Chains A and B, each alone.
Chain A
Amino acid sequence: MRLEGIYKSFGEEEVLHDINISINDKEITCILGPSGCGKSTLLNIIAGIIKPDKGTIKESKKKVGYVFQEDRLLPWKTVFENIKLVNKKASDKSIRDLIRIVGLEDSQKKYPAQLSGGMRQRCSIARAYNFQSEILLMDEPFKSLDYDLRISMVKCLIDIWCKLNNSIVFVTHEIDEAVLLGNKIIVLSGNPCRVDTVVNVSMPQQERRIDDKKMVDLRCRLLKILSRQ
């Protein structure tokens, strides 16, 4: 998928300015930028929720799944039922497999209110995978979680991605998340939002450690880019 010359304004305020990015198949593309810079707007344009004022999205017909900042699970449905909701044709076995992959096998009959924040987000990730999407869009999905849980959720996502190997666009303002996840990290600047830098990371995600020297260097580099904005 490729976004070319995307512009978007809300009223007189320009939010996105000449955005040109490509999303590679079977890779995790991280979109990193300060809070409120327009990352979610960009994701909503990719998802087709909102239309750009100008610009084109090539291969926009791809089936897109979405993991929101909040879990957005139906409170009256169990984990199993919430996952089944988006693809009723999916077999019970395939849903149970997804539940096992996200580590919720003991909670499939539980309701969202009975789950922790991390478990709810894992359920919404499983739901997005059950949609059989070609691209999975994730809008700061671990924002509401504390640091330790966030890092463990990132590791959990890497495990899921290694097993299911699809394309992911992961929006975040947390450098650590981008460093651990991204094959490609697109750094955005704010007011209006533009592409500042694109960083490719070759090290496989499973081998990355937050205290690894290469990752520390990458972290410092990204921090410098963000702090000069």
Chain B
Amino acid sequence: MKISILKNNVFKELIYTVVSIIAMLIIWKIVSVVVNKEVLIPSPEVTLREIIRIVESPAFFGSVLNTSKRAIIGFLIALGTGMLFGMLGGLFKAIYYLLRPFVLIIKAVPTMAMILLTLIWLESEKAPILVGFVVIFPIIYENVVQGIRNVDSKLVEMMKVYNINKLDTIKELYIPSIVSYLNGAMSAAAALNLKIVIAAEVLSQPKLSMGTSFQMEKANLNTAGVFAWSLIAIFMAGVFEQMLRITKIARNGKTLHHEQ
């Protein structure tokens, strides 16, 4: 019964998504016809031709791979450190207050300033990783702190009564409790991270990257090329989100199976 309801929901979700994409394409086509200047708003078909050209170019996979690599490295570092410091900050007030000024500064510094500073400090290949990390670390950190603070105090008391040591309490109670907070944070952070890494690459101009390709298309006044790379970036963000969704489903698989 539940399986059929689930399949029905997935089908509905797919239908709505397709309808939404078609509506966007129609609006895009109308705007491009009205503006009638390919350099301002290229039409969907011209953009599609550009996508094919870019995908067929020899530098495409290298660019996508390098940007993905930077995004994933930055994301994983932010995830690891965000979880570690988030847990420490959530469990120990002193650590939370010690970290608060750093997190506030990281959050408040304009992204562009951060990109420029990292370009001064690091080589162009590594700068985008640091920028991505700096932008998404506070998101992961704050969600983990929130998750730790919202752990059911009655369960904490139960663990204490049964003399369960701190390490096991973290492993068995705190980590599973923060998973739902982390899921939301990770989805938001993955897409944002990719955007930030590409923005940093636009300025740092590493050898092969999506950001450099954006900059090249812009320098050639090829707006359709910029649109094409944007669509490729959106597609990649979707792929990252789906990957996170798959890991989430795999984690919850047991529970879903038992709920049926």
In residues 127-166 of chain B, which contact A (Cβ within 8 Å)? 154-155, 157-158, 160-162, 164
Quote the shortest CB–CB distance from A113 to chain B (angstroms). 7
Which of the listed residues A47, A68, A74 has the most CB atoms from chain B within 10 Å of its own CB?
A74
The size class of the interface chain B forms with chain A is: 10 to 19
Is the beta-carbon distance between A76 and B154 smaller than 8 angstroms?
no
B154 touching A74 by the CB < 8 A rule? Answer: no
Give the chain B neighbours of A110 by CB distance below 8 A. 258
B182 smallest CB distance to A (angstroms): 14
Across the interface, which residues of A come within 8 angstroms of B255, CB to CB?
Answer: 76, 111
Please tell me if the beta carbons of B259 and A74 are within 8 angstroms of each other in the complex. Answer: no
Cβ contact within 8 Å between B160 and A49: yes
Contact partner, B164, options A47, A49, A72, A85, Cβ 8 Å? A85
Residue B172 interfacial (CB < 8 Å): yes
B173→A66 contact, CB < 8 A: no
One digit per residue, 1 when the CB lies within 8 angstroms of any chain B CB and 0 when it does not, for chain A 162-200 equals 000000000000000000000000000000000000000
CB pair A86 B164 closer than 8 Å: yes
Scoring A residues 55 to 80 as 1 if CB is less than 8 Å from chain B, else 0, what string do you get? 00000000011101010101011000
| A74 B157 Cβ-Cβ under 8 A | no
B161 pairs with A85, CB closer than 8 A: no
* Chain A nearest Cβ from B226, distance in angstroms: 46
Q: Is the CB of B161 within 8 A of A66?
A: yes
Map CB proximity to B onto A124-146 as digits: 1 under 8 Å, 0 otherwise.
00010001000000000000000
Whether B80 is near chain A, meaning CB under 8 Å from some CB there, is no
A72 touching B154, Cβ below 8 Å: yes
**In the assembled complex, B176 has its CB within 8 A of some CB on chain A:** yes
Q: What is the chain B residue whose CB lies nearest that of A47?
A: B161
Q: Most A CB atoms within 10 A — which of B161, B176, B255?
A: B161
Tell me if A's interface is mostly helix, strand, loop or mixed: loop
Q: Is there an interface contact between B164 and A113, defined as CB atoms closer than 8 Å?
A: no
Give which listed residue, A66, A76, A86, contacts B176 with CB less than 8 A: A76
- Measured CB to CB, the nearest residue on chain B to A88 is B168
Q: How far is the CB of A84 from chain B (nearest CB, A)?
A: 10
Decide if A68 touches B158 in the complex (CB within 8 Å).
Answer: yes
Residue-wise interface mask of B (160-202) relative to A, using a CB-CB cutoff of 8 A (1 in contact, 0 not) = 1110100000001100100000000000000000000000000
- Contact of A72 with B258 in the complex, beta carbons under 8 Å: no
> For B164, what are the chain A residues with a Cβ–Cβ distance below 8 Å?
85-86
In-complex Cβ contact of B259 among A70, A86, A113, A127 (8 A): A113
Report if A114 contacts B (CB, 8 A): yes
Question: With contacts A49-B160, A68-B158, A70-B154 known, is A85 near B172, CB below 8 A?
Answer: yes
Nearest to A124 among chain B residues (CB) is B158
Shortest C-beta distance, B248 to chain A (Å), equals 14
In the complex, chain A residues whose CB is within 8 Å of the CB of B258: 109-111, 114
**A111: nearest residue on chain B (CB-CB)?**
B258
Q: How far is the CB of B100 from chain A (nearest CB, A)?
A: 31
Residues of chain A whose beta carbon lies under 8 Å from any beta carbon of chain B: 47, 49, 64-66, 68, 70, 72, 74, 76-77, 85-86, 109-111, 113-114, 127, 131
Name 8 extra pairs, CB < 8 A, besides A74-B155, A74-B176, A113-B259.
A49-B161, A65-B162, A72-B157, A72-B158, A76-B176, A85-B162, A86-B162, A111-B255
For the complex of A and B, 6 pairs with smallest distance between CB atoms = A86-B162, A72-B158, A66-B161, A76-B176, A111-B258, A72-B154
Give me 18 A-to-B residue pairs in the complex whose CB atoms sit less than 8 angstroms apart, sorted by A's number.
A49-B157, A49-B160, A66-B161, A66-B162, A68-B154, A70-B154, A72-B158, A74-B172, A74-B176, A76-B255, A77-B172, A85-B162, A85-B164, A85-B172, A86-B162, A86-B164, A111-B255, A114-B258
